[in-house]
Amino acid sequence: MTTTPRGRLSPAQWFAHLSIRTKILAPAVVGVVAALVVGLFGLNALSASAATSQRIYEDNLAAVKVLGNISVTRKSISLSVRDILLVGDGPDRQATLDEYAELQATFDAQLDEYLATGASAENTERVADIRAKLAEYLAIVDNKMGPIAEAQDLGRWLQVNNDVAAPVAEAVSSDLGAIIDTEDAAAAASASDAQSAYESARTLALVILGLAVVVCLAVGLLVARGIAGNVARVRRVSDAMAEGDLTQTSGVEARDEVGAMGASLDAATGKLRELMTMVIASSDAVAAAAEELSASSQQIAAGAEETSVQAGVVSGAADEVSRNVQTVAAGAEQMGASIREIAQSANDAARVASQAVSTVESTNETVAKLGTSSQEIGNVVKVITSIAEQTN
């Protein structure tokens, strides 16, 4: 992994932080740029090829065409010289002479036309030599062959033509042929240059296309692998979450859409993990409270059972107290009756003090009964006191 100074991003990190749309458009942009470069280069090459073709036409083909016309004119001059011999003093002699003069002017104008096509210095010298040799040829025709033609001496005319005029005419034709060969060679060189330029342009276009294809494939593969890898990490976290595992994280560091989705999923997993931790802690607390509540319920049940037993004891004691109270009530009633009897006896004793002696025995018996009743009342009071102490 490449390292960069703090605060700066490496090219790979910078590219990873781009949006998915930008990443997908990158290969297309590279392809479009490559197509534009190849197209512009192709148009430039076509323009250069057209310029080369135009130059070949203007500098070579047009010159060759003019040279062809010059060659035809030169042969026509030779034929016109022969016609002068053949017409003799006939009616067509003047027309033949006029044609002969016109051919000379045409030949000279054609040489000027050739020079206007941009002839090389070497060919310009050849044109001057052709002019000189043509002048020499015409001088031979006018000064030597003309009088012989007027005399209609065919043998002498042929001899002078073959021995004197023909070599000069051949020299003119040779110079014309040399010029034509030079122009053909120049045209071939231009065509070769055009072919070389085409091959160079084709090679360069193929190289640019090849590089563009490689770059597009490389960028596309990089984008595809990056997106697929990040999506796989996010999917791994989602699958783990579906299985209940909240400890996984995506680890996606890119800031594109998938990176944002991974960061959100990591945050959600963390929050859910914290929530589940709190739920587990709350569940433990609830379980502990339930155990305490169960123990308290058992204690309450035991207390209730004991209370029930105590209530039974209290109920029995209450019954016994009720019976004792009835006994005390009966004793109290009996004691009241005894007290009433004592009062009555006291009244009787007061009234019948005189009878005290006689009733002493009866009074002693009554006092004895009163003592017995008092003892029974004391026993009842003791029972009531003991019941009260047991109740407390």
Kindly list the domain boundaries of the chain, sorted by start residue: 11-239, 258-391
Q: Do the Cβ atoms of 314 and 387 come closer than 8 Å?
A: no
Whole-angstrom distance, CA of residue 259 vs CA of residue 284: 37
Whose tokens are 């942009």? That residue is 29
Q: Concatenated DSSP letters for 106-129?
A: HHHHHHHHHHHTT--HHHHHHHHH
pLDDT per residue of the chain (392 residues) written in tens, 0 to 9: 444 455 576 776 676 667 777 767 777 777 777 777 777 767 776 676 666 666 655 556 778 888 888 889 888 888 888 888 777 777 777 888 888 889 889 988 988 988 888 888 898 998 999 999 989 988 888 888 888 887 888 888 888 888 988 898 898 888 888 888 888 888 888 788 888 888 888 888 888 888 888 888 887 887 777 777 777 777 887 887 788 777 777 777 766 777 777 778 777 877 777 787 887 887 777 677 667 766 766 776 676 577 566 656 656 655 665 676 577 567 657 766 766 776 676 566 556 556 655 665 776 677 677 778 777 877 777 777 777 777 66
Q: Does the global pTM surpass 0.85?
A: no
